[in-house]
């Protein structure tokens, strides 16, 4: 904690001391700037704006825009959507699902989502092409000032303190240069997160990175009520039939198509063309899926998966990292949307409390609570995920025994609980209590 001689910088120089005060608002100034209108950024902007704070939400693209994703949402994400007041009924364009189907070792088992006090008992599917726009428009409806085609070029930094005081950006087709100012900035600009890099927030190389590839094809199974994950991912053309460090999925979209893809660790040192592997894997799907090469509706696209809180610190010098910018993807499963939205909400709650403080010291101390909130929520669960990722990153260690083990019903049940991260500490289910306990006590770093 800074001593009396270490004066914390003024968080809002030349601004009205009351955040959200109408007289303090100008076109290029705000209480908070959020860079990136993906799930994390839009969730943060919504929760900030609904308290009356003036929020600038800057998005480099124009909606609707594409994003590589599996499009499947677990009950964790459903909770965040309903907290945003979004209509998630099927009549509003969402496909509801009952649970997760796991395929491994020639065995298939279906697990329904648990009905818990904290989470609903159903998941959702929606294309990211309009999912992100729904969230961004919801943030705007709550009062955030959404500016599309605002390509943030870098931070504005106070030379004396090193603190971020805003961002520079280029707007529209003519790339008109502008500057925006705020005492607090949220980096929600994805895995590339140029803003974080400019503020010297670097990725931890001791944390696993994943990659995902996906496409869409027409299928008679497009209204499947279970998300489907194939745990023993293999190259169909490999004579040795080696287990690969990842899994494949097939998620029915309800519109005549399915999202099919694979998520893998890129740290395993395996020399494979993953796009070509996805094509070959699709070729090997059972006939009931109706897959044909001419039924593919979109090209294969890939994306990096920043995992396990791999970019730190998550708060320093006025900048908070959320979503992919902060590496909130689960290292065990590759799930990212739910944790992105949760991190955006944690950041918003932290900022609201900070800007309500009456002194610079009080505001700074409140902002420093954000990394601890992330650690409390995820450190144990992500530590378990890192262990799983490390194991998957050593296919030779798993070998044939790994395939046999994955096919055992008891282990598939444990795999399901680990994948979904839906536990209740007071549950009567012994495995549920055990998973909750392990997630709490597992060492986080």
The pLDDT of residue 410 is 72
Query: Mind listing the pLDDT tens digit for each residue in 127-158?
Result: 998 999 999 999 999 999 999 999 999 999 99
Residues 191-206, mean pLDDT to the nearest whole number: 92
What is the 3-state secondary structure of the chain?
CCCCCCCCCCCCCCCCCCCCCHHHCECCECCEEEECCCHHHHHHHHHHHCCCCCEEEEECCCCCCCCCCCCEECHHHHHHHHHCCCCCCHHHCCEEECEEEEEECCEEEEEECCCCCCCCCCEEECCHHHHHHHHHHHHHHCCCEEEECEEEEEEEECCCCCCEEEEEEEECCCCEEEEEECCEEEECCCCCCHHHHHCCCEECCCCCEEEEEEEEEECCCCCCCEEEEECCCECCCCCCCCECCEEEEEEECCCCEEEEEEEEECCCCCCCCHHHHHHHHHHCCCHHHCCCHHHEEEEEEEEEEEECCCEECCEECCEEECHHHHCCECCCCCCCHHHHHHHHHHHHHHHHHHHCCCCHHHHHHHHCHHHHHHHHHHHHHHHHHHHHHHHHCCHHHHHHHHHHHHCCHHHHHHHHHHHHCCCCCCCCCHHHHHHHHHHHHCCCC
| Residue that wins the pLDDT comparison between 14 and 388 | 388
Which one is predicted more confidently, 407 or 91?
91
pLDDT at 30 over 80: yes
Pick the more confident residue, 7 or 66: 66
Output the pLDDT for position 229: 92
Question: In this model, does residue 417 exceed pLDDT 80?
Answer: no
Residue 82's pLDDT is: 97
Phi first, then psi: give them for residue 314, nearest 5 degrees.
-75, -15
- Which range, of 69-83, 180-194, 392-406, averages the lowest pLDDT? 392-406
* pLDDT of res. 375: 92
Q: How many CB atoms lie within 10 A of CB 215?
A: 20
Q: Which residue has the higher pLDDT, 397 or 15?
A: 397
- Given a cut of 80, whether residue 392 has pLDDT beyond it is no
- Per-residue model confidence (pLDDT) at position 379: 82
Q: Which residue has the higher pLDDT, 159 or 387?
A: 159
Tell me the pLDDT band of 409, cut-offs 50, 70 and 90.
confident
For residue 140, what pLDDT is reported?
98
Would you call 352 exposed, middle or buried from its count of C-beta atoms within 10 A (0-12, 13-18, 19+)?
buried
**Lowest-pLDDT range of 14-23, 118-127, 129-138, 375-384:** 14-23
| pLDDT of 180 strictly over 60 | yes
Cα(first)–Cα(last) distance of the chain, in Å? 21
Say whether pLDDT at 179 is over 90. yes
pLDDT value, residue 425: 67
What pLDDT does 269 receive?
67
Of the candidate ranges 111-125, 201-215, 281-295, 364-378, the one whose mean pLDDT is the lowest: 201-215
**Mean pLDDT computed over every residue of the chain:** 86
The token pair at 222 is: 């497009």
Average pLDDT on 74-93 reads: 97
Using pLDDT thresholds of 50, 70 and 90, give the confidence band for residue 6.
Answer: very low
For range 350-372, the mean pLDDT: 97
pLDDT of 105 higher than 80: no
* 442: confidence class by pLDDT, cuts 50, 70, 90: low
Domains of the chain: 22-67+129-205+308-381 (3.50.50.60)
Per-residue pLDDT for 289 more than 70? Answer: yes
> Is the pLDDT confidence value at 2 over 50?
no
Are 11 and 363 within 8 A, CB to CB?
yes
- What is the percent of the chain where pLDDT is above 90? 65
Question: How distant is the alpha carbon of residue 162 from its chain centre?
Answer: 28
The pLDDT score that the predictor gives to residue 422 is 84
Query: How does residue 268 score in pLDDT terms, banded at 50, 70 and 90?
Result: low
- Residue 286 buriedness (CB in 10 A; 0-12 / 13-18 / 19+): exposed
The burial of 400, by beta-carbon neighbours within 10 Å (0-12 exposed, 13-18 middle, 19 or more buried), is given as exposed
54-78: average pLDDT: 95
Q: What is the pLDDT of residue 19?
A: 45
For residues 88-105, average pLDDT: 94
Confidence of residue 333 (pLDDT cuts 50, 70, 90): confident
pLDDT, mean of residues 275-290: 93
Give 434's pLDDT tier (boundaries 50, 70, 90): low
């Amino acid at each position: 904690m800074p001593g009396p001689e270490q004066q914390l910088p003024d968080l809002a120089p030349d601004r009205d001391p009351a955040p959200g005060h109408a007289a303090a608002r100008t076109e290029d100034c705000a209480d908070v700037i959020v860079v990136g209108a993906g799930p994390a950024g839009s969730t943060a902007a919504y929760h900030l704006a609904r308290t009356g704070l003036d929020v600038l939400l800057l998005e480099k693209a124009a909606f609707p825009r594409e994003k590589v994703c599996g499009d499947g949402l677990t009950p964790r994400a459903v909770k965040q959507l309903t907290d945003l007041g979004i209509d998630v009924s099927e009549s509003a364009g969402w496909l509801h699902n009952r649970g997760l189907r796991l395929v491994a070792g020639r065995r298939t088992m279906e697990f329904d989502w648990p009905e818990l006090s904290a989470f609903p008992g159903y998941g959702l599917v929606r294309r990211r092409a309009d999912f992100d726009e729904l969230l961004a428009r919801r943030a705007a409806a709550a009062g955030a000032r959404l500016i599309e085609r605002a390509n943030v070029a870098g931070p504005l930094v106070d030379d004396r303190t090193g603190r971020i005081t805003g961002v520079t950006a280029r707007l529209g087709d003519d790339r008109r240069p502008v500057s925006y100012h705020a005492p607090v900035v949220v980096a929600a600009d994805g895995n590339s997160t140029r803003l974080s890099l400019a503020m010297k927030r670097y990725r931890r190389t001791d944390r696993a990175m994943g990659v995902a590839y996906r496409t869409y094809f027409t299928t008679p199974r497009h209204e499947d009520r279970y998300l489907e994950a194939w745990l023993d991912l293999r190259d169909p053309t490999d004579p040795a039939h080696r287990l690969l460090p990842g899994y494949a999925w097939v998620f029915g979209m309800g519109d005549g198509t399915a999202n099919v893809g694979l998520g893998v660790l890129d740290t395993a040192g395996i020399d494979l063309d993953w796009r070509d592997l996805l094509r070959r894997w699709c070729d090997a799907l059972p006939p009931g899926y109706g897959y044909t090469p001419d039924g593919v509706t979109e090209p294969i696209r890939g994306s990096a998966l920043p995992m396990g809180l791999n970019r730190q610190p998550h708060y320093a010098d006025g900048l908070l990292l959320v979503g992919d910018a902060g590496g909130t993807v689960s290292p065990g499963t590759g799930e990212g949307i739910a944790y992105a939205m949760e991190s955006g909400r944690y950041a918003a709650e932290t900022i609201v409390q900070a800007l309500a403080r009456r002194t610079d010291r009080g505001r700074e101390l409140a902002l420093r609570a954000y990394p601890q909130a992330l650690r409390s929520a995820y450190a144990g669960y992500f530590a378990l995920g890192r262990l799983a990722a490390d194991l998957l990153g050593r296919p030779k260690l798993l070998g044939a025994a790994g395939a046999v083990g994955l096919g055992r019903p008891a282990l598939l049940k444990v795999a399901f609980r680990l994948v979904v991260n839906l536990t209740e500490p007071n549950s009567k289910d012994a495995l549920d209590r055990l998973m909750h306990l392990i997630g709490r006590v597992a060492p986080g770093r």
